[in-house]
Amino acid sequence: MLLFGIKRSLSFVGLLSLSAAATLIMLRPAAVQAQTPPPPSEPAPDNADLRPLSQDGTVLSVQGGQRLMQEAGTAASAQNYDLAVQKLQDARQVFNQLSNFYQDLGASFAGIDLRIADAQRQQAIATAQLRDEATYQLALVHRAQNKPELSVPLLIQIVRSQNPTRDLGKKAYQQLYELGFVDAPYPRDQDAPAPR
């Protein structure tokens, strides 16, 4: 009977051992697969590729819009005003889209994550500033082409967007004054009487 009890204990231990061994064998391939590096034919992921819009080659980025403005400046310096107009219009569109996208994202995160909402709002403000700078340059190119009818609406957009108290708003208003669209200079001279 003792022999039967020992045999039964051994078979129970054997079953447990067999069960544990089977489990280890089943789990081992998954662990080995997880540690296996990718085959040489597959390129390793490059973290720089994970943020393609932050690269210089794309148009839908701040860098892309700035590149368009530089190209416009080069074209305007060479008096190729038509090309400068096209590049500045493209830059305005890029900056306006970016500003709207950042503003929409910021609104989406309002009340959820203040840090992200604020970061997107700051991005929207920065790209709106760049849009207004591109708009101002475009108005100057139209002025150089002797097309004030195209400059005036752009300059008014800048004054409305920037406010006449900010530097770019003052410059835009000054252009409107020089074109004869407005009669009163701003800021007015200290010696000039205040309007009543």
DSSP string, the chain: -HHHHHHHHHHHHHHHHHHHHHHHHHHHHHHHHHHPPPPTTSPPPPGGGG-GGGSTT-SSSHHHHHHHHHHHHHHHHTT-HHHHHHHHHHHHHHHHHHHHHHHHHHHHHTTT-HHHHHHHHHHHHHHHHHHHHHHHHHHHHHHHTT-HHHHHHHHHHHHHHH-TTSHHHHHHHHHHHHHTS-SS-SSPPSSSPPP-
Span 123-149, pLDDT tens digits: 999 999 999 999 999 999 999 999 999
Q: The pTM is what?
A: 0.69
pLDDT tens string 59-90: 789 999 999 999 999 999 999 999 999 999 99
